Amino acid sequence: MSVNASGRLCVWAVGLLAMAAALPALEGQDKAGAAPPTTAQTPSPTSRMEDTLARSSVASRPGPEHQWLAPLIGSWTMEMTWYSPGAPPLRTSGTSENRWILGGRFVLAEATAGEGPAAIEDKTIYGYDRWERKFFSLGLRTVGAGLTQDWGFYDPVGHSFALSGKERDQTTGRLVVHRQLIKVQGLDRYSIDVFVDVPQRRPLKVLQIGFTRR
């Protein structure tokens, strides 16, 4: 387990240890009646847990990194182009509603595109992980067999996020590395380019999405 993952577990472990530490005192009350008076009031397990959760909530408040995600917020029209070797590009359009959730900690992008059997629905969460010191995206959609999870960094000069992850090819079952470049092009436009790694070749672009504010 990584150091960062261990740190996350510690937030909850502190609360559990606080409760465990109070068990002997509680058992003593059950056996001998009321506990003897003390000169100082010992915090109850409930108050210790509440204090731990309160401090954890404060520590997870949005920071300056979250402001780099702010340009994604809004109502958007999408123009999507799919690329496949040996075939003409496939184009479709749609819309996306992007909003803050959980007190401004994450961005939820809910998108739909296409019509009929080819219609696509996508829900993606963008955020910044302070433990990992990285940006991430979590994607669930009606195309694909599971969750996609990408991690990466923000380039303040290029106003872009470079994220990457792995998923299994639905046809071959092989693990494929994919990359996405999210570029803010102004107040009313941003784009997403998706690539897949190809052995001994440059990454191959498979999808391009242009977003225009409605």
Residue holding tokens 């909003």? Answer: 99
pLDDT digits (tens, 9 = 90+) for 121-143: 999 999 999 999 999 999 999 98
CA 197 to the chain's CA centroid:
23
Q: What's the Cα-to-Cα distance from 43 to each of 25, 40, 52, 54, rounded to whole Å?
A: 12, 9, 12, 15
pTM of the predicted model over 0.85: no
What the block records as the tokens of 106 is: 């994450």
pLDDT digits (tens, 9 = 90+) for 25-51: 434 444 445 555 555 567 787 888 888
C-alpha dihedral sign at 152, 156, 157, 159: positive
